[in-house]
Chain A
C-alpha cells in the first residue's frame, strides 16, 4: 500500500516537474548536412548553432537532425519531431523533394513548417495542406525573372541552357523559358549533365554549335563550374549566366579565373557591404554575417545559411505574438503561431517578407540583385 502511495506521489511530482518544461518552445530542424545537398545543409546547420537559446522570454529547445538529403529520412525526422519531441514548429528541409514530402505530415498534425528549399510548389496556395507551410528562399521564378530582365537589357535574344539532369535543372529550364518568353528571349539549345560527370565536352560542343547569345548554367554548388570551365576552354565568347545555387566560396575557388564576367541573380545578403545604407536588409545581413564569419572564418558566408537565419527571423516576430494567445506545446499555440507567420512583415537577411494567405514566401524584387564575378569576388551590378 505504502509503495502505491509513493509511486503516486512520485508520478504527481513528475507531472508537476514536467509542466514548466512544457512552456519551453520546441523547434525541430531537419536539414541535409550529408548526402548530395551537404554543401547547402552544412551552412544551415552552422547557422542554427549560432541562434539564441531564448525567444520572447521562453527557453528554446532545438532538435536538429540530419536527413542525408534523403526524402524518407526527412519524413521520419518530421514524424519524430511531432510525436516524440512535441515540437511547436518544424524548420526544414534543405531540398525541395524532402520539403514536399514533409508537407502532408505537418498539415495532418497542424504544425507550422518553414522550409529552406526553393521550389514554389512547397507553398503552392492551390494545395490546402500548404496552409501550414512557409518558406524562406526566393522561388526560382523570381530569380529567373531577374536573369531575363538583365539579358534583355544587354541585347541577348537567344540562349543555350545546360543544367543538372534532375529536378533543379528541369525547374530552371521551365522557369527561364517562361521568363524568357515575356522578355522575347528564346532557348535555342537544351543540354543536361550530372553533378559527377567526368566530362561535359559533348554537351558544350553542341551548345556552342547552336551559337546562342548567352548560355545559362542551371546547377548548384561547385558542379556549376564544370560546364563553365569547358565553355571557356572551347572558346565560347558569349555571356555566361549561372543561377543563385552556385553562390558559395567553393564555387569561386573551383571556377578560378574562368568565372570572370559571369552573371548571376542572388539574395542581397551575399554582397551586403555593397548595398546602399538606405536598404533595410543591409543591417540585418551585416549582423548575421558578422556573427557567422566570426565563428566559421572570413568569407565563409553562403546564402543557404541566410535561409536558415531568415526562418529564425520569421519566428522571432511570430513567437511573441503567439505567446500572448496560448502556451507552447499546445494545439492552440501552433495555430496562433501559424496565423502570426501568415500576417507578418519581416525584414530579414535575404529580403523583406510580406506574408499573406496567398503568398507563404512573401519575397519580392527586393530579395534579388544581379552580381558579376570579378577575380574571385562577387560584385554588385548597379
Chain B
C-alpha cells in the first residue's frame, strides 16, 4: 500500500463518512426531540435516490403513489380524531396541511417527471417529495403514541422500517438504480487525485451541517426544538407544542435523509432496501455521540466511513464485522464514563 492508494482510501472513507454523518445527525435530532430511534431513516435515503433516478428516466417515481397513499391515510386519521373530539372547526385547515399539500407535491412531481428538467430542479423535486414523507410518517405512526416509552417507540420504528421496505419493493421494484454524477472531472493536487464528485459530497454535507447549526442557534424554531430536547415538559409549559416540535423534527430529519439519498446515488447502486445498512452506519456514528451530541455523532460517522474504507482494502470479507464490532468498545466506554439514568417515564 503506497501513499496514493492511502489517499484514495481516505477520500473514499471521508465521502461515505460525510453521508453517514448526515444520517447520524438526523438520528440524533429525532431521538433528542421525540425519543424515537429513527430506524426508517434508511428507507428515506433509498427513496431519495430512487425518486431522483425515476425522474432521470422520465418516469413518475414510486414516491408519488406513496405520498398520495400516506396523505389520504393522514386525512382519514384527522377526520376520525376530529369526529371523536367533536371539534370540526380546524378540520379544513388540518386537511389542507396533511392531505392537500402532500397531494399537490405528488401531483407536481408526477407532472414534472416526463419533462426532463435540469438536474438541480429534479433534485429539488426529489427533496420536496421525500421530505414530505417525514411529517406524514410522524402523523401516522408516531404521534398517536407520542407519550409511550422509548421501547414502544422503538418497536413502532422497527415496524415502520419493515412497512417502508415492503412498500419500497412494491413502488420501486426489486432492481437498483444509480443516478449520474454531479461532475465527472477530477483535480490533481501533487501526486493525489481528487474527484470533484466526492469533493462536492463533502462540501454539501458540510454546508448542511453548518445550516443546521445556524438553525438551532439563531432561529426561534431551532431554539424551540432544542428546548424540547432538553426538557419536554418544561418546553410544553413555555408554550411549545410537542406535536409541532415532532412534526418539524421529522421534516428536518426526512430532508437530511433525502439529501443523503441524492448524494449517495452517484456513488453506488441503491436498492429499495439499501438504506438500512447506510442508516445502521449512521446509527453507529450517532451511538458514538451518545445519541445527544451532534459534533461527536458527525465525527463518529466519519470514523465509520474511514474504517470501512480501509477494512475493505485489507480484509474485505470482514468489513461489516469490523465496522459493527466498533460499537462494542464504544458502548463499554460510554457506559463506564457516563452516569446511567433510569428512564423517567
Q: Which residues on A are within 8 Å of B, measured CB to CB?
A: 34, 36, 38-39, 42, 165, 191-203, 205-206, 209, 221-223, 225-226, 229, 248, 250, 253-254
Contacts and interface: CB of A to CB of B under 8 A. Distances in A.
A288 B238 CA distance: 70
B111 interface: no
A194 B176 CA distance: 14
A197 B268 contact: yes
B312 A203 contact: yes
Contacts of B264: 198
A323 B15 CA distance: 64
A25 to B, nearest CB: 30
Interface stretch (B136-144, B213-221, B270-278): B270-278
Contacts of A205: 5, 8-9, 313
B9 A254 contact: no
B19 interface: yes
A201 B271 contact: no
Contacts of A201: 8-9, 12, 309, 312
B174 interface: yes
B311 A202 contact: yes
B267 A199 contact: yes
5 contacts: A39-B174, A198-B264, A202-B319, A205-B8, A223-B176
Interface string B306-336: 0011111110110110000000000000000
B169 A222 contact: no
B177 interface: yes
B87 interface: no
B178 interface: yes
B176 A200 contact: no
B114 interface: no
A248 B314 CA distance: 32
Interface string B3-22: 00100110010011001000
B267 A198 contact: yes
Nearest to A222: B176
A248 B310 CA distance: 32
A305 to B, nearest CB: 14
Contact of B273 (A196, A200, A222): A196
Nearest to A229: B178
Contacts of A199: 12, 15-16, 267-268, 308-309, 312
B269 interface: yes
A70 to B, nearest CB: 13
Contact of A254 (B16, B177, B317): B177
Query: Which 6 pairs of residues, A with B, have the shortest CB-CB distance?
Result: A202-B312, A202-B313, A38-B174, A250-B175, A201-B12, A39-B174
B148 to A, nearest CB: 29
B12 A202 contact: yes
Interface string B142-184: 0000000000000000000000001001000011111000000
Nearest to A34: B169
Contacts of B9: 201-202, 205
A254 B12 contact: no
B345 to A, nearest CB: 36
B14 to A, nearest CB: 11
A203 B267 contact: no
Contact of A226 (B268, B309, B319): B268
B178 A254 contact: yes
Contacts of B16: 198-199
Contacts of B15: 199
Given A34-B166, A39-B174, A254 B5 contact: no
A196 B271 contact: yes
Contacts of B314: 202
Given A38-B169, A192-B319, A202-B309, 19 more contacts: A34-B174, A191-B316, A194-B319, A196-B273, A197-B268, A197-B319, A198-B16, A198-B278, A199-B267, A199-B268, A199-B309, A201-B12, A201-B309, A202-B313, A222-B269, A222-B271, A223-B269, A225-B269, A250-B175
Given A191-B316, A225-B269, A39 B175 contact: yes
A259 to B, nearest CB: 12
